[in-house]
A and B are shown apart, each in its own frame.
Chain A
Amino acid sequence: MSVKGLGELERSIMDILWAQNTPLTAREVGRLIEERDLAPTTVMTVLDRLTRKGFLDRTRDGRAWRYQPAESRDNYVAELMLEALDMTGDRSAALTRFAQAVSGPEAEILLRALSELEEE
């Protein structure tokens, strides 16, 4: 079995935690992960990294930590989309975008142009 890269592992662990409704311990995460031969310390390292980056919250449960996502997956998607559509209000030039959507009479002009182009 191949050893996944750290980034790949972060993804799988986030997916596992997003799919669960309750906070999990490192051991429980390790049991749910596809690669069973993963060292428990590796799982703990990744959980710790994700916590430090702010993607996971953790709470004490006896001698272990329980981890859960800080935000739902949809919230992160929404965060990226807001930036992608330049609706955050800051002009930091962090991204370069293809085009912006418009509405109202402006959109009608574009729609007319589109149907003309499609007819030709």
Chain B
Amino acid sequence: MITAAALSALAAACALGAWRFTTARWTSRAPRLAIALWQSLGVTWGLASIGALLAYAVTPYDRGVIHGLAAFARGRKPDATWDLWHALAMIAGLTLLAVLVAVLVTAGVQTLRARRRHRLVLSLIAREEPGIPGVRVLDHPGAAAYCVPGLRSHVVVSSGTLALLSHDELTAVLAHESAHVRERHDLVLLPFGALRRALPWSKVVRDAQAQVELLVEMAADDRARRYCSPRRLATALLRFGTAGAVPTPSGMLGVAQSQVMARVDRLIKPRPELSRSTRYGLVALSVTLTTSAPFLWALPF
């Protein structure tokens, strides 16, 4: 019973933490740390919510979540009576687990399929440009630069992009895209996108996903600025943001605008890094969070 209570408290703390975290201001100063914290919040919330339900379900066995579940699976008779509420908690816990796994697997499969199709079409219509080896060029006047992630990732730019940007700006954009490739940011985004599609009405999930999307871009900007002028990256961003040839679907305007401006601001006027103690504190918090749920699952009472 204590474990169930502790897991519920942990799940509630994660939900509360995520809600507070969506408005945190330090994240743009340490995007990678912020991403790690989001990931631990997500994983811990999932494990704690499922764990709380299952822990309550197996309290009659009085031997903790994992051992209790094992006893249940083996068909042992519990020490105390197993009533309707325990059965309901068991059903709810297993359903939640199944739903979360199914959502992630579906998102993964859909993503892989979309990428495969994209890569296939790309192989038929994209051309190579002598000046920029390894980059595929799509003949379209709109401004687009992106990466198709995978074991063999492709960086793609439209011919509109080539016309829009100066040589240095193009270098900056390509450095940004190779950062996405190298750090596999698509894998970071996948679970958040999946969760958002599973819970489209949840404001916290929507905000979290938007935040992680922005943080991933900032992390890529940070890596790119080691290889190019941050100023050129900023002007490239602004040119992209104002490449008005493409109407943007309404409802995304605010986000996209604040995202471009937020990225430009930190490229031009970088704020000081977080203090060492703050950074260590955040790492410790992230590690504690991630280990706490498995620890509570394994407790033998």
Q: Do the two chains bind?
A: yes
- Contact assessment for B111 and A117 in the assembled complex, using a CB-CB cutoff below 8 Å: no
Known contacts A55-B124, A95-B146, A117-B231; decide if A102 and B107 are in contact (CB<8 Å).
no
Q: Assess whether A1 is interfacial by the CB under 8 Å rule.
A: no
- Contact assessment for A100 and B177 in the assembled complex, using a CB-CB cutoff below 8 Å: no
Docked complex Cα distance between A14 and B259 (Å): 40
Q: Assess whether A96 is interfacial by the CB under 8 Å rule.
A: yes
Partner of B123, one of A11, A90, A98: A11
Question: What does the 1/0 interface line of B202-218 toward A look like (CB < 8 Å)?
Answer: 00000001000000110
Interface size on B, residues (CB 8 A): 68
Q: Per DSSP, are chain B's interface residues mostly helix, strand or loop, or mixed?
A: helix
CB distance from A108 to the nearest CB of B (A): 9
- Contact assessment for B253 and A103 in the assembled complex, using a CB-CB cutoff below 8 Å: yes
- Contact assessment for B247 and A103 in the assembled complex, using a CB-CB cutoff below 8 Å: yes
- Contact assessment for B125 and A114 in the assembled complex, using a CB-CB cutoff below 8 Å: no
Question: What does the 1/0 interface line of A28-39 toward B look like (CB < 8 Å)?
Answer: 000000000000
Instruction: List, in ascending order, chain A residues with CB within 8 A of B244's CB.
Output: 101, 103, 107
With A76-B121, A80-B121, A80-B156 given, name 11 new contacts (CB 8 A). Answer: A84-B156, A84-B158, A93-B186, A94-B114, A99-B237, A99-B241, A100-B248, A101-B243, A110-B260, A117-B234, A117-B268
Q: Chain A: residues with CB nearer than 8 A to chain B?
A: 7, 10-11, 14, 53, 55, 73, 76-81, 83-85, 87, 89-104, 106-107, 109-111, 113-114, 117-118
23 contacts between A and B (CB under 8 A): A77-B140, A81-B144, A84-B144, A85-B246, A87-B248, A91-B209, A93-B190, A93-B193, A94-B118, A94-B148, A96-B147, A96-B186, A98-B145, A99-B237, A100-B248, A101-B241, A101-B244, A104-B253, A107-B257, A109-B261, A110-B242, A110-B261, A118-B235
